[in-house]
Structures are given as structure tokens and as C-alpha cells.
Amino acid sequence: MPNGGRASRRAASSRLVLFVTVRLGSKVETTDVPWAALVPILVILLAFVVFCWVDISRHAVKHLPKWAWAIIVAISIPLGGIVYLIVGRDSNRQ
């Protein structure tokens, strides 16, 4: 039994699993988050934020100072970046 216990603990500890607990009324459910599906999405979102920050630092912006746009882009991903690209970018770019 001791060998079987160690093997199962090693198998359980070798995979990365995030448990999300959802409370629906009196029922509590725990689900596994599929990291293989989330990692590409997180990488794309991070690249989008970095793109917006580089654009903010290199070009003129409208309506707010650059530091405010940078905070908005970082706090509300991806909506802040989309709003910046539509509203905050200066149309008179060279």
C-alpha cells in the first residue's frame, strides 16, 4: 500500500490543476480548468496589452494622458485596449 500511495500522490502533484468552486444555492460544484486551452488565450491577451502599451508610448494620444490610457489598458483587458484603439489613438499619425 505505501508504494501505491506514493505513486498516486506523485501523479496528482505532477499535473497543474486549478479548482474553481461555484456556489449555486446550496449546491457547491468544483470544476477543473483546462490549462492547455487557456494558455494560448492568455498569451494573446498579454501580447495585445503589450502592443497597446508600446503604441501609447510611441505615439500621441487623445482625451486622456498617456499614463491614464496605460492604466485603463492594463486594468480592463481586452476592453480597455479596444477603447484605446478606437477612441484614444490620435488620427494624425505619421
pLDDT tens, residue by residue, 6-37: 555 555 544 555 555 555 666 666 677 788 88
Placement of cell 491614464 in the chain: 68
Model pLDDT for residues 45-86, shown as the tens digit of each residue: 999 999 999 999 999 999 999 999 999 999 999 999 999 999
d(CA 94, CA 92): 7
Q: What is the pTM of this model?
A: 0.64
